[in-house]
Structures are given as structure tokens and as C-alpha cells.
Amino acid sequence: MDTAISEYMEQLGRRARAASRAMARADTATRNRALTLIAAAIEREAPALRAANAQDMEAARANGLAPAMLDRLALSDKAIATMVEGLRQIVALPDPVGEISNLKVRPTGIQVGQMRVPLGVIGIIYEARPNVTVDAAGLCIKSGNATILRGGSEAIHCNRALARIVKAGLEQAGLPADGVQVVDTTDRAAVGALITMPQYVDVIVPRGGKGLIARLMAEATVPMIKHLDGICHVYIDAKADLQKALDIGFNAKCHRYGTCNTMETLLVERTIAPTVLPQLAQRYLTESVELRADAESHAILAAAGYPHLAQATEEDWATEYLAPILAVKIVDGIDAAMDHINTWSSKHTEAIVTEDYSAAMRFLREVDSASVLVNASTRFADGFEYGLGAEIGISNDKLHARGPVGLEGLTSLKYVVFGHGEIRS
């Protein structure tokens, strides 16, 4: 690796570690004041931010960036207002830091509990969207962490401008400016350095595509909280309420196509399939959803005259379409459904539609995914809907934080002991 980059990143790391102590020590009011000051400054400096963004957009267009990426890079007035509103919502959330739980007196006389504390230094690696800079900084400040932000090189001008605002807000509130640092180089080697300095960085939160995650999984020595793909399933059980099945089956697919909690495979119990599938297909028709059906469901849907029909292959069970396409399969019952899910799912979110108590309880217990729902759309699997207030991502990992990750996911628990002079005998 380039020595200059490696030294630069080492310097960021050392500064972040030093700042993390002051961030962790700061009281609630101080951290909230910093967030409030930053929100006000972003409002005030909106013209400067838009100018910086215009520079990024111009360079991106010159480099032939795809329209979808340009769209993500653009910082509109509305996007700025949303960032500001997001910070104010974070201010309003309860402070997770310092809370002591499970306090109990032990036979020896000591009193043992667990205190929620910041993780320390959080590294966030993301792509073009400049709003992530502010959302992530806000969550890290609120949870008492120092953070190193590595945004996409396309957004470097805008991220520099945001970094300046954030640092000023921290300093005005009496916190170290190094509490939030933006990696100020577009050299890709900076990512390689960030993910291999466990002495300075406690956790990496990658927010990006499969390519980024794959690279990090191969190279990182710092632990990660990963947001991966969502191959989500809805299983319509024999005992499903027909109306709920139609509503959920439609909403889970068609409410939004590009989100990770969108249904990608529909499983239908065999005996109910001839009733459910044709009616559900009428709904999908309004959205021209392409149905990739296994042999049995294909026969039913073809008989019903569904126009956008294809044969499913095994690849369909493993695909996150993020589009008006849905894989459909008929199964024998709950065991076959759970077997399919535990084999093909990305362990993000799955739902069952049923009025059968035992089927619901088994599905909740035995499906090995971050979110498991009974009689509700997979689209609810999200930090805001779950009441976390804000989220930094949805974790497909099992360790530390699983499912939507809010402020708690950015903290750890340490044991605290209140004694009275006790010694071990």
C-alpha cells in the first residue's frame, strides 16, 4: 500500500481513538447540542452544500456515471431538509449510553449490572449518497462514538463541505472535532487501511453493494456489521385467511421494488394454491409483475391466463430481483416452506400468512432469519417501523446486532459492579 495513504489513515485512526474517549464521556445534553448545531448549520449553509454537490455532479457526468448513480449523488433542497429533519429526530431519541440493566445482588454482597456504553470508533464505508454522511455522523454522535466516514469518491466535494459543518458543530458544543472525520482522499487504498486497523477501529459498517461487501469480507480484520441482500419470502399456509394473503402477498412485492425487505419468492401451500394464486395474479397484473413459477404454480397461473409468466429455475430461488419480478413455488406445507426458506433465504426477513396457531409459533421459532413475521407484510422490517427511531442499516449477521440496527447496535454492554469492600474467598 502507498505509504502516504497508510500514514494518513493511521493518523485518522489515532485521532479517532483519542476523540472517542471525550465522545463517550460527554453527557446527553452536550451530544444533543452538537446535533442541534449541526442541523442548524446545514440549513444555513444549504447554498454552499448545493454548490459543492454541483461540483460533484459535474465531475460525475463528465465521468459518465450511470443515471441511477447520479440520482443518488444529487443533493436537492428536499434531501437537505430530510437530513436536517433526521438529525432533529435523533436528538429526540432517548440516550442509550449509561443505562444500567439487570442489576442484581449476588450472594457475596456485590451488586452486578450491565451498563450500555459506546463501541468506541466506528468506520462507515458507503457509496455516492452524501446524506449518509450526516445520518451516520448523527447516529454515531448520539451513541457517543467517534467515527471515520469513507464516502464514495464521487461525493468528495459535498462530503468535505458536510465534514466542515459537522466538525464546527462538535467544537461549538465542546466536543473534539475529531469525533467525526471524513476520509479526504479518493484513493481506494484508504478503504484497505481502514478495515485493517483494529487498534483504532472497533467496527466497520459497510453500506454498499455486493462487490464492496465481498471485498471487505476477504480483507477486513476489523469486525463488521454487514448489510447484505434481502431474499425475502412470504409463505401462504393452508390455513391462511384469504384476504390477508392477498393483501400481504401484494403489498410485500409491490409496495416498493428496490428495498431489501421486499418479497422475492412467494411460497404457497398446495391445497390453497388453486384459490389463492389466480386472485393474487389479478392484483399483480395491475403492476405487470413477471411471475417466475415452478411447474405446478405455472400450470395454475397459465390456466388463469396470466400474461407475464415464465418457468422458474433454481437460480430464481437465489435471486434478489429488486424489480417487478416474483418467484413462485408450491410447497407441501410448513415444513417444506421452512426448508425452502432456510436453504435459499438471505436470512433477512420472512413472513407466514396463517390462522393456525401452531404453524405460526413454529414459523416464528424455526425460521432462521433476522425478522420473522406472522400475518404482516415483510415491508415492516425496518428500524422506523420497529420503533428504533433511526437505523444505520439492517444486519444479516447473527452476532452483536441482527435485523434493523439503531442506536443500541452502536453500543456495547460492560459489566459494572457496586461493592462494599468485598473480596473473593
**Which CB sits closer to a copy of itself, 281 or 352?**
352
* Cβ distance to a copy of itself smaller for residue 89 or 412: 412
Backbone angles phi, psi at 224, to 5 degrees: -125, 150
**CB 33 within 8 Å of CB 165:** no
146-150 vs 121-126, strand pairing mode: parallel
Four-CA torsion 250, 349, 131, 29, nearest 10 degrees: 120
What three-state secondary structure class fits 335? helix
**Residue 69, Cβ density class (10 Å: 0-12 exposed, 13-18 middle, ≥19 buried):** middle
The least distance separating a copy of itself from the CB of residue 375, rounded to whole angstroms, comes to 4
Instruction: With beta carbons less than 8 A apart as the criterion, state whether 178 and 146 touch.
Output: yes
363's CB contacts (< 8 A; 6+ apart) are: 235, 334, 337, 338, 350, 352, 354, 372, 374
Beta carbons of 343 and 335 less than 8 angstroms apart: no
Which H/E stretch holds residue 138?
A: helix 131-142
359 CB-contact burial (10 Å; exposed 0-12 / middle 13-18 / buried 19+): buried
Of 127 and 391, nearer to a copy of itself (C-beta) is 391
User: Is-contact 277 328, C-beta < 8 A?
Assistant: yes
Minimum CB distance to a copy of itself smaller for 251 or for 265: 251
Distance CA 74, CA 187 (A): 22
Rounded Cα distance between 261 and 259, Å, is 6
Measured from the CB atom, the residue of 302 and 416 that comes closer to a copy of itself is 416
Q: Which residues bind a copy of itself (CB under 8 A)?
A: 21, 24-25, 98, 104, 106, 108, 110, 112, 115, 117, 119-120, 198, 202-203, 217-218, 221, 223, 241, 243-244, 247-248, 250-252, 255, 342, 351, 364-366, 368-377, 379-381, 385-387, 397-400, 402-404, 412-424
Closest CB to a copy of itself among residues 71, 368: 368
Residue placing its CB nearer to a copy of itself in the complex, 299 or 322: 322
Please report, for residues 81, 131, 132, 165, the alpha-carbon distance to residue 158 in angstroms, rounded to integers and kept in the order given. 15, 10, 11, 11
Secondary structure (3-state) at 241 = coil
Q: Which is nearer to a copy of itself, 145 or 181 (CB)?
A: 145
Rank residues 79 and 413 by Cβ distance to a copy of itself and give the closer one: 413
